[in-house]
């Protein structure tokens, strides 16, 4: 679960992390009032669960309460990466001299938490990691030992932080690690941590992601859980009662049973494709569910083809085929669909599909190869 910057900042503040003075507003007038109370130049920041708000125009400086009202008018209702801005944070604008990056996340491959520090903060840290990896100092943590002072000094040295920052990041990193551990986070980040003109360090942005499986241990966080945090297609899929997870590839995957769908993702990946989603239509799915599943997968405009992998137990092949034919006739489908049907009434299902635009496959692997070939041609 993601929470908003202002919510994360409230929590960081409780852990002693200095943050700019400010409050959240839901209307332009509220933003003006807050700016009035602050009495200095403020920054008005869109509160949405995504980064890159600055680039999207979701962060604006305002010298007066009137300017803050105008900025809030522009930002509230803005669409940032498919998320509509409903709140803005109005806080004292920082006098930024330098921007640094501090983050802790779970490194699954290493089975450890990893701390990262960079003198190139403010920008997209994934870009720094990809293009200038030497600028990102990293350290894996032993959970039994936690984060020690000597490790913090090493990180500051490796990241080539200037002395004032090297000296100051210790308290920030310790608080960050404490928040990360206390809240069962998968990510806790301060980007940017800024050095002001008068030599102060302050967290200008704050972000953390909690492990959903640990939410039962943090009942007080339930208030932060909003439909807004979900990907819009995932939210729509869940409304339609589907078990759907969006991924970042271009091949839509639909199957019955979580194990089969996960295997299908792996096989498509192994054949060189990139799955766009996980979608399990479950056992015994009727034609209407099949149609809805196809429609949902196609909400993702990256999808260049769909691989349907059905192992019929209680799910009947002829029902699936009917659903697919209904989908073909009622939806305007522009992408290739490969179908592998096996098990209960598979023969009847395949007979129904004969003569349609669907491409049959005898096995999962053949299906994966076919959809990868078909979508590659489409690119
Ligand atoms: P993100 O892009 O969504 O991660 O939003 P951030 O809160 O990290 O802000 C992005 C950038 O906006 C920062 O790196 C700064 O360059 C700029 N910015 C944010 N807050 C302030 C501020 O108070 N004053 C000034 N001058 N710039 C700011
Ligand atoms: Mn940021």
pLDDT digits (tens, 9 = 90+) for 348-377: 998 999 989 999 998 999 999 999 999 997
Asked if 371 and 305 touch (Cβ cutoff 8 Å), the reply is yes
Can 21-92 and 96-224 be said to share one CATH topology?
A: no
Structure tokens at 141: 């943590």
Q: Which CATH number is associated with domain 96-224?
A: 3.30.470.20
CA distance 309 to 331: 20
To the query of whether residue 180 is one of the catalytic residues in this protein, the response is: no
Q: What are phi and psi of 304, to 5 degrees?
A: -105, -5
pLDDT in tens, 189-199: 999 999 999 99
Element of type H or E holding 59: strand 59-62
Please provide the DSSP assignment of 264-328 as one string.
Answer: HHHHHHHTT--B-EEEE--TT--HHHHHHHHHHHTTSTT--EEEEEEEESSS-HHHHHHHHHHHH
Clarify whether 101 is annotated catalytic. Answer: yes
pLDDT given at position 282: 85
- Output the pLDDT for position 235: 84
pTM: 0.72
59 lines ligand 1 (CB under 6 A): yes
Q: Is 93 in the pocket of ligand 1 (CB under 6 A)?
A: yes
Tokens of 320: 């699936």
pLDDT score of 229: 52
Instruction: Give the residue ranges of the chain where pLDDT is below 70.
Output: 226-230, 378-379
* Ligand with the closest atom to the CA of 50: 1
Domain 230-378, CATH class in plain words: alpha beta
Distance (Å, whole) CA 264 – CA 251: 11
Per-residue pLDDT at 161: 97
- Domain range summary for the chain, segments of one domain joined by +: 21-92, 96-224, 230-378
Kind and range of the H or E element at 103? Answer: strand 96-107
| d(CA 122, ligand 2 centre) in Å | 6
CA pair distance 284, 320, nearest whole angstrom? 9
Any atom of ligand 1 within 6 Å of the Cβ of 197: no
- Per the CB < 8 A criterion, the answer to whether 345 and 374 are in contact is no
Cα distances (Å, whole numbers) of residue 159 to 71, 117, 152, 165: 36, 6, 11, 11
H or E stretch covering 89:
strand 88-92
Q: Check residue 226 and give its pLDDT.
A: 59
Ligand 1 site, residue 53, Cβ cutoff 6 A: yes
Distance CA 243, CA 283 (A): 12
Q: What whole-number distance in Å separates Cα of residue 182 and Cα of residue 184?
A: 6
**DSSP assignment, residue 197?**
T
Q: Which residues pair with 310 in a beta bridge?
A: 341
Which of 59, 97, 99, 118 best tests ligand 1's pocket when mutated (most atoms within 8 Å of CB)? 59
DSSP run (H or E) holding 253? strand 251-255
Q: Tell me whether the omega of the peptide bond preceding residue 192 falls within 30 degrees of 0, making it cis.
A: yes
Residue with CA nearest ligand 1 atom 23? 93
Whether 52 is in the pocket of ligand 1, judged by its Cβ within 6 Å, is: yes
* Residue from 22, 96, 127 whose mutation best tests the ligand 1 pocket (most atoms within 8 A of CB): 96
Q: Which CATH class is domain 21-92?
A: alpha beta
């Amino acid at each position: 679960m993601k929470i908003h910057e202002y919510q994360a900042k409230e929590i960081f503040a409780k852990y002693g992390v200095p943050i700019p003075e400010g409050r959240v507003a839901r209307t332009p007038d509220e933003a003006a009032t807050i700016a009035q109370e602050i009495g200095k130049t403020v920054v008005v920041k869109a509160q949405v669960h995504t980064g890159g708000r600055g680039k999207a125009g979701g962060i604006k400086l305002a010298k007066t309460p009137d300017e803050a009202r105008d900025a809030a008018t522009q930002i509230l209702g803005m669409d940032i990466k498919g998320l509509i801005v409903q709140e803005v944070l109005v806080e004292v604008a920082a006098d930024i001299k330098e921007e640094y990056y501090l983050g802790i996340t779970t490194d699954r491959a290493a089975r450890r938490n990893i701390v990262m520090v960079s003198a190139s903060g403010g920008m997209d840290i994934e870009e720094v990691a990809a293009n200038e990896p030497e600028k990102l100092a990293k350290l894996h943590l032993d959970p039994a030992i936690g984060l020690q002072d000597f490790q913090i000094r090493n990180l500051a040295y490796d990241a080539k932080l200037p002395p004032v920052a090297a000296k100051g990041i210790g308290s920030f990193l310790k608080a960050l690690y404490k928040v990360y551990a206390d809240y069962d986070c998968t990510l806790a980040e301060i980007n940017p941590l800024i050095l002001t003109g008068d030599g102060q360090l302050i967290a200008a942005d704050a972000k953390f992601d909690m492990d959903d499986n640990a939410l039962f241990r943090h009942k007080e966080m339930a208030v932060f859980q909003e439909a807004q945090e979900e990907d819009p297609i995932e939210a729509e899929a869940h409304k339609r009662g589907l078990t759907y997870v969006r991924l970042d590839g271009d091949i839509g995957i639909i199957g019955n049973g979580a194990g089969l769908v996960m295997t299908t993702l792996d096989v498509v990946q192994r054949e060189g494709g990139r799955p766009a989603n996980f979608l399990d239509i479950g056992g015994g799915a009727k034609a209407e569910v099949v149609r809805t599943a196809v429609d949902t997968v196609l909400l993702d405009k990256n999808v260049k083809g769909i691989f349907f992998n059905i192992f019929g137990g209680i799910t009947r092949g002829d029902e699936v085929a009917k659903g697919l034919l209904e989908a073909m006739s009622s939806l305007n489908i522009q992408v290739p669909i490969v179908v592998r049907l096996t098990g209960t009434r598979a023969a009847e299902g395949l007979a129904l599909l004969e003569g349609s635009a669907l491409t049959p496959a005898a096995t999962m692997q053949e299906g994966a190869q076919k959809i990868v070939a078909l979508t590659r041609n489409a690119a």
